[in-house]
Amino acid sequence: MKKIAIGLYVIVTVVLLAWGYYQAIYVAPNDAMQGEIARIIYYHVPHASLSFIFFGVSLVGSIGFLTLRRSHPDRAQSYDAWALAGAEIGVVFCTIALITGPIWARRAWGIWWTWDARLTTTLVLWLIYVSYLLLRRFSAGPQMQTLAAVLGIFGALDVPIVYMSNRWWRTQHPAPVFGGGEGSGMATSMLYPFLWNMLAWFAWGVLILGIRFYVERHHQKIAAAEAKAALEA
């Protein structure tokens, strides 16, 4: 039953991705001001916003691990797997946002990059989580999980500060398209393709997040079994 559900979910995700692609490339009209290049919004914005969700998963995992590591070691292990999976998928999504952004900016602004609030925040967020993954790679054992969780909390704490500091510094990123007041919002012809892509990439992200979590849990179980075997030998 579980296998059928997962298989079904994979099929739905693939169909959604194909449908999202069709919507973005063939159905959505050209942007009145920017032309074809504006289609990148259907990929850039979902990846950028979803990366924040996955980093959020990582933060919850870190906090969960720290609070439960003494009282419920097994549940804490599963929180740690969520923390790792969230950070890895978040970095992948964030990387895609950081690559598609400059491609669009080169055409729209005439420059690849600018040190504005949202770009800098995203870049710093990416740097922090890459350093988080490096810490996990360089250390080993249960100690590493605790240290990584602490770093995860520090990193999350840094993000609002980076955002505020850069707003005071300078800002060039387009104002929020949704809920930004007068003149914001999207034409329906663009809104539906956008929402389809958002949903498709969300489903895809959740799928690989789940796979990564499963693999990490498996790793943990093998490591625990090996440690036990070594003790008994």
Partner 1 sequence: MTRALWSHLVKDLRIEWRSLDAIISMLFFSGLVVVLFSIAFDPRGAFSQQIAGGVLCVATMFASVSALNQAWAREIRHQVMDAQRMVPSPGAELLLAKVIVNFFFVTIVQIALAPFFVVFYNLRIVGQAWLLLLVLPLGTWALVSNGVFFAALSMSSRNRELLLSLILFPIFIPALLAMVQATTSIFTGDSDPTLWIKMLFGYDIIFTTVSLLLFDVVFHAE
Among 122, 106, 135, which residue's Cα sits nearest to residue 48?
Answer: 122
Token readout for 192 is: 């539906």
Q: Which stretch binds partner 1 (CB under 8 A): 18-26, 139-147, 177-185, 193-201?
A: 139-147
User: Binding residue for partner 1 (CB under 8 A) from 169, 218, 225, 227?
Assistant: 169
User: Binding residue for partner 1 (CB under 8 A) from 111, 157, 187, 225?
Assistant: 157
3-class DSSP assignment, residue 43: helix
User: Binding residue for partner 1 (CB under 8 A) from 127, 215, 224, 227?
Assistant: 127
Output the smallest distance, CB 55 to partner 1, in A. 13
Q: What backbone torsions phi and psi does residue 69 show, to the nearest 5 degrees?
A: -65, -25
User: Binding residue for partner 1 (CB under 8 A) from 162, 191, 208, 223?
Assistant: 162
Q: What is the Cα–Cα distance from 32 to 44, expressed in whole angstroms?
A: 19
User: Binding residue for partner 1 (CB under 8 A) from 135, 177, 186, 207?
Assistant: 135
User: Binding residue for partner 1 (CB under 8 A) from 109, 158, 207, 208?
Assistant: 158
- Residue where the block lists tokens 């969230």: 86
Q: Looking at beta carbons only, is 63 or 198 nearer to partner 1?
A: 63
Please answer whether residues 48 and 97 qualify as being in contact, where contact means their C-beta atoms are separated by less than 8 angstroms.
Answer: yes
Q: Decide if residue 153 touches partner 1 (CB under 8 A).
A: yes
Window 62-91: contact mask with partner 1 (x via CB under 8 A): ----x-------------------------
Q: Decide if residue 58 touches partner 1 (CB under 8 A).
A: no
Q: Decide if residue 165 touches partner 1 (CB under 8 A).
A: yes
Among 102, 104, 154, 159, which residue's Cα sits nearest to residue 126?
Answer: 159
Q: Which stretch binds partner 1 (CB under 8 A): 45-53, 73-81, 88-96, 129-137?
A: 129-137
Q: Looking at beta carbons only, is 6 or 162 nearer to partner 1?
A: 162
Token readout for 107 is: 């055409």
Q: What backbone torsions phi and psi does residue 108 show, to the nearest 5 degrees?
A: -80, -45
Integer angstrom CA distances of residue 14 from 72, 204, 207: 37, 8, 10
User: Which residues does residue 31 pair with via DSSP β-bridges, in sequence order?
Assistant: 35
Output the smallest distance, CB 219 to partner 1, in A. 19
- How deeply is 57 buried, as exposed, middle or buried, from its count of CB atoms within 10 A (0-12, 13-18, 19+)? buried
Q: What is the Cα–Cα distance from 81 to 50, expressed in whole angstroms?
A: 19
Residues making contact with partner 1 (CB under 8 A): 66, 124, 127-128, 131-132, 134-135, 138-139, 142-144, 146-147, 150-151, 153-155, 157-158, 161-162, 164-166, 168-169
